[in-house]
């Protein structure tokens, strides 16, 4: 038996149950055992009139111990522990601070009252792990908040602050200062008022509006895009309208058991840990980061402005450099617009934006950056321009300052070579809009030293990004995989699918948007200009799909021009355009291609196989070091559904022989430069997975 992680202390006639399981007081078996014992002890002790449940350290219980999932039941179970707490005939007050999440909030709901520190938060994030609250959360929460609010909270998995918790009836009091003292005072008030001890499970469910519940479940289903847990969670909450507490609990348990064993939950748990592991790069444990107080940014265009906002939002001082007063003014306007938009969406108040805007200075000329500890370059994608700029920055910045480029495909080794400090040069590839998108690729060039990599990774963490380390190659991890898929998507169009078929299959897979809707949103003209630049050096034998060029020749550059692959004249969603259909068909005739029929599943299999195959090449070339690095790029930069874990994780679940078969089928259908990755072949044929490969390394 492991040590017991909940102890009982006495304050006159009040017992304190203290949970102490760092770092986040997760409900391991030892904590559950401790809670059970504490309740039994308090029940038997006649000198104790009531109890306060409080946690040591930075937070109240943050939930079940996710590492125990899938290890089979370890007694006592959490529902049993909470049921035991509810049988106590003496009141228990939960004293919440930090983040009372999941099973932690469920334990608090098993108490008779809840007081919360003003800075505390509560939430039931289980759906984000592919499960539903499994210890009464779906049955007790609606008894405090009403069904509608409970569906909202549980299906979103979002946390709410203390004041909201009070308004929703989850907390009974918001307190400041010494939490334990405040909870004891609250309990004493209740004891002297002689209030009856009523467990939450015995309270009635408020007003029930079945039509409204039906509407909510339909909305949740649509938003979940194939993810099961939010839908099941809503259904379980809705059960409180028709089932007794005991029956509702039994249903909740059954759904929980089913989901915890599902692939979706495995994938989401993997994503939870991978998201945290991704910035802990093996080999960099001893590296020391440079302290970054001031960040410089060269270029106040769309990317530069978004990057500046990302830093300012995290409380950092930013100095931007532009080439002229006019360009600086335009940059300032862009930043103002980003903040105005945030205010309009209700994300920030005017005061908050004013404070953030003041952290950003825009100057003319590079000299203003002299005091920066790290500079991010975000100018036009032209190698000579960047080389020249880096040489000049090298002369201006203090020795040891880090120089990062936001390039998405240029050779960072060549850029670094233009300076006298290639060891302090790296890539910091942001995704647009840079203040919103969570992904940041930190690119290590041949001479980049550990200190520089660590500095960029730490900085990324400070501004709330998920940073993934990549090596230098065309497109790094994300754009390289995306480009491989984009090519296959165009081949599919030539071979018989329509853009809307592909987009529908991709969104049914769980992506927020299909590739053709994405192209239209980001604009077709830049890629067209790039194709024209590369036309002379293109391999004439390689398969080339001319349709995107034809579309651009019509002045259809996507949403911004009202038309692209789709028609936007209706104003709203992308509408399939008959003239594009005709163009595609004429093009097939011209090339003598007999169109085939592709089902949504064919399209999805090809997409996944393409991504996994390219991911395997990227791993073999050591551009990405771990399968989880590839997965996190695809999740946070490209909208790969989190409940699938990412292409590499999903490939392991599907089985690599199946993926290899899909790849070979595509090659047989006219691979056009597409060949099975040697690493994929090796693993599939030796019965290994990417996870095995990562472990063997």
Which residues bind to ligand T1G, rule: CB under 6 A? 23-24, 26, 62-67, 78, 99, 101-103, 106, 125-126, 129, 131, 133-135, 137, 276
What phi and psi, each to the nearest 5 degrees, are found at residue 150? -65, -40
Other beta carbons within 10 angstroms of residue 47's beta carbon come to 8
Task: Identify the CA nearest to 491 among candidates 670, 338, 644.
Answer: 670
Distance, CA of 542 to CA of 536 (rounded, Å) = 13
Q: Specify the residue, 26 or 228, whose C-beta has the smaller distance to ligand T1G.
A: 26
Q: Specify the residue, 101 or 481, whose C-beta has the smaller distance to ligand T1G.
A: 101
Query: Helix, strand, or coil here: 316?
Result: coil
Residue partners of 124: CB distance under 8 A and separation at least 6? 101, 102, 105, 106, 133, 137, 141, 153, 154, 157
Q: Specify the residue, 135 or 623, whose C-beta has the smaller distance to ligand T1G.
A: 135
Q: Specify the residue, 62 or 375, whose C-beta has the smaller distance to ligand T1G.
A: 62
Distance, CA of 604 to CA of 662 (rounded, Å) = 11
Residue 590 is among the residues annotated as catalytic for this protein: no
Please say whether the beta carbons of 515 and 486 come within 8 A.
Answer: yes
Least spacing, CB of residue 237 vs ligand T1G, in Å: 13
Least spacing, CB of residue 122 vs ligand T1G, in Å: 11
Least spacing, CB of residue 133 vs ligand T1G, in Å: 4
Please say whether the beta carbons of 147 and 204 come within 8 A.
Answer: no
Instruction: Spell out the SS3 assignment of 269-307.
Output: HHHHHHHHHCCCCCCCCCCCCCCCCEEEEECCCHHHHHH
Token pair of 51, please?
Answer: 């109890």
Least spacing, CB of residue 242 vs ligand T1G, in Å: 22
Residue 106 is among the residues annotated as catalytic for this protein: yes
Q: Which of 9, 41, 46, 106 is catalytic?
A: 106
Token pair of 375, please?
Answer: 């500079």
- The CA distances from residue 349 to 309, 332, 346, in Å, are 15, 19, 7
Burial-class residue 459 by CB neighbours within 10 Å (0-12, 13-18, 19+): buried
Q: Specify the residue, 137 or 146, whose C-beta has the smaller distance to ligand T1G.
A: 137
Least spacing, CB of residue 77 vs ligand T1G, in Å: 9
Q: Do you know the residue count of the chain?
A: 697
DSSP-assigned letters across all residues of 163-215:
HHHHHTTS-SEEE-S-HHHHHHHHHHHHHHHT-----GGGSPP----HHHHHH
Token pair of 587, please?
Answer: 């093009």
How would you classify residue 345: left for phi > 0, otherwise alpha for psi between -120 and 50, otherwise beta? Answer: alpha
Task: Identify the CA nearest to 656 among candidates 632, 685, 628, 635.
Answer: 685
Least spacing, CB of residue 126 vs ligand T1G, in Å: 5
Q: Specify the residue, 469 or 611, whose C-beta has the smaller distance to ligand T1G.
A: 469
Query: Helix, strand, or coil here: 458?
Result: helix
Least spacing, CB of residue 62 vs ligand T1G, in Å: 3
How would you classify residue 452: left for phi > 0, otherwise alpha for psi between -120 and 50, otherwise beta? Answer: alpha
Burial-class residue 372 by CB neighbours within 10 Å (0-12, 13-18, 19+): buried
Strands in 159-161's sheet, in edge-to-edge order, are: 99-101, 121-123, 159-161
Q: Specify the residue, 280 or 697, whose C-beta has the smaller distance to ligand T1G.
A: 280
Distance, CA of 296 to CA of 320 (rounded, Å) = 6
Q: Specify the residue, 315 or 673, whose C-beta has the smaller distance to ligand T1G.
A: 315
Least spacing, CB of residue 350 vs ligand T1G, in Å: 29
Least spacing, CB of residue 395 vs ligand T1G, in Å: 40
Q: Which of 9, 33, 86, 126 is catalytic?
A: 126
Q: Specify the residue, 125 or 646, whose C-beta has the smaller distance to ligand T1G.
A: 125
Indicate which residues carry an active-site annotation.
Answer: 106, 126
């Amino acid at each position: 038996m492991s040590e017991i992680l909940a102890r009982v202390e006495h304050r006159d006639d009040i017992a304190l149950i203290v949970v102490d399981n760092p770092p986040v007081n997760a409900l391991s078996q030892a904590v559950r055992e401790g809670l059970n014992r504490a309740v039994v002890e308090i029940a038997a002790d006649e000198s104790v009139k009531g109890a306060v449940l409080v946690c040591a350290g930075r937070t109240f219980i943050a939930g079940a111990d996710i590492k125990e999932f899938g290890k089979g039941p370890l007694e006592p179970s959490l529902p049993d522990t909470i049921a035991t707490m509810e049988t106590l005939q003496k009141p228990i007050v939960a004293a919440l601070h930090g983040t009372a999440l999941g099973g932690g909030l469920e334990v608090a709901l098993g108490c008779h009252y809840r007081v919360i520190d003003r800075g505390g938060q509560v939430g039931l994030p289980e759906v984000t792990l592919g499960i539903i609250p499994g210890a009464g959360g779906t049955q007790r929460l609606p008894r405090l908040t009403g069904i509608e609010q409970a569906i909202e909270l549980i299906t979103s998995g979002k946390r709410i602050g203390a004041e909201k918790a009070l308004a929703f009836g989850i907390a009974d009091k918001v307190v400041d200062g010494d939490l334990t003292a405040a909870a004891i005072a609250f309990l004493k008030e209740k004891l002297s008022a002689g209030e009856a001890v009523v467990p939450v499970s015995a309270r009635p469910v408020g007003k029930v509006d079945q039509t409204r519940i039906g509407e909510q479940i339909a909305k949740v289903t649509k938003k979940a895009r194939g993810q099961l847990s939010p839908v099941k969670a809503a259904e379980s909450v809705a059960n409180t309208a028709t089932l007794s507490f005991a029956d509702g609990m039994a249903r909740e348990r059954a759904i929980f058991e089913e989901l915890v064993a599902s692939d979706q939950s495995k994938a989401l748990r993997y994503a939870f840990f991978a998201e945290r592991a991704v910035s802990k790069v093996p080999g960099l444990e001893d590296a020391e980061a440079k302290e970054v107080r001031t960040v410089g940014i060269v270029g106040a265009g769309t990317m530069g402005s978004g990057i500046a906002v990302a830093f300012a939002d995290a409380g950092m001082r930013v100095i931007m450099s532009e080439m002229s007063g006019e360009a600086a003014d335009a940059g300032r306007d862009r930043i103002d617009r980003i903040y105005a938009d945030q205010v309009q969406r209700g994300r920030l108040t005017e005061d908050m934006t004013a404070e953030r805007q003041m952290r950003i200075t825009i100057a003319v000329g590079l000299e203003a950056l002299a005091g920066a500890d790290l500079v991010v370059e975000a100018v036009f994608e032209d190698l000579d321009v960047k080389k020249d700029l880096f040489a000049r920055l090298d002369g201006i910045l203090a020795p040891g300052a880090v120089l990062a480029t936001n390039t998405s495909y240029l050779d960072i080794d060549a850029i670094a070579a233009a300076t006298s400090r290639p060891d302090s040069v790296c890539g910091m590839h942001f995704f647009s809009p840079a203040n919103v998108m969570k992904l940041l690729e930190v690119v290590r060039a041949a001479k980049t030293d550990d200190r520089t990599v660590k500095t960029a990774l730490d900085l990324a963490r400070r501004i709330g990004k998920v940073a993934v380390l990549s090596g230098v190659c065309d497109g790094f991890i994300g754009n390289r995989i995306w480009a491989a898929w984009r090519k296959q998507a165009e081949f599919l169009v030539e071979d018989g699918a329509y853009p809307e078929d592909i987009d529908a299959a991709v969104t049914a897979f769980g992506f927020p948007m299909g590739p053709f809707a994405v192209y239209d949103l980001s604009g077709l003209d830049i890629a067209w200009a790039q194709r024209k630049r590369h036309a002379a050096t293109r391999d004439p034998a390689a398969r080339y799909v001319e349709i995107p060029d034809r579309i651009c020749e019509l002045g259809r550059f996507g949403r911004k021009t009202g038309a692209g692959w789709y028609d936007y004249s209706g104003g709203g969603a992308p509408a399939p355009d008959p003239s594009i259909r005709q163009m595609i068909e004429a093009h097939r005739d011209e090339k003598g291609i007999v169109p085939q029929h592709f089902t949504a599943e064919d399209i999805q299999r090809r997409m996944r196989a393409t991504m996994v195959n390219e991911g395997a090449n990227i791993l073999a070339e050591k551009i990405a070091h771990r399968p989880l690095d590839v997965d996190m790029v695809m999740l946070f930069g490209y909208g790969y559904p989190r409940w699938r874990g990412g292409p590499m994780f999903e490939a392991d679940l599907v089985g690599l022989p199946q993926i290899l078969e899909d790849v070979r089928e595509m090659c047989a259908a006219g691979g056009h430069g597409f060949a099975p990755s040697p690493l994929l072949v090796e693993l599939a044929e030796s019965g290994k997975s990417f996870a095995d490969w990562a472990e063997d390394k």
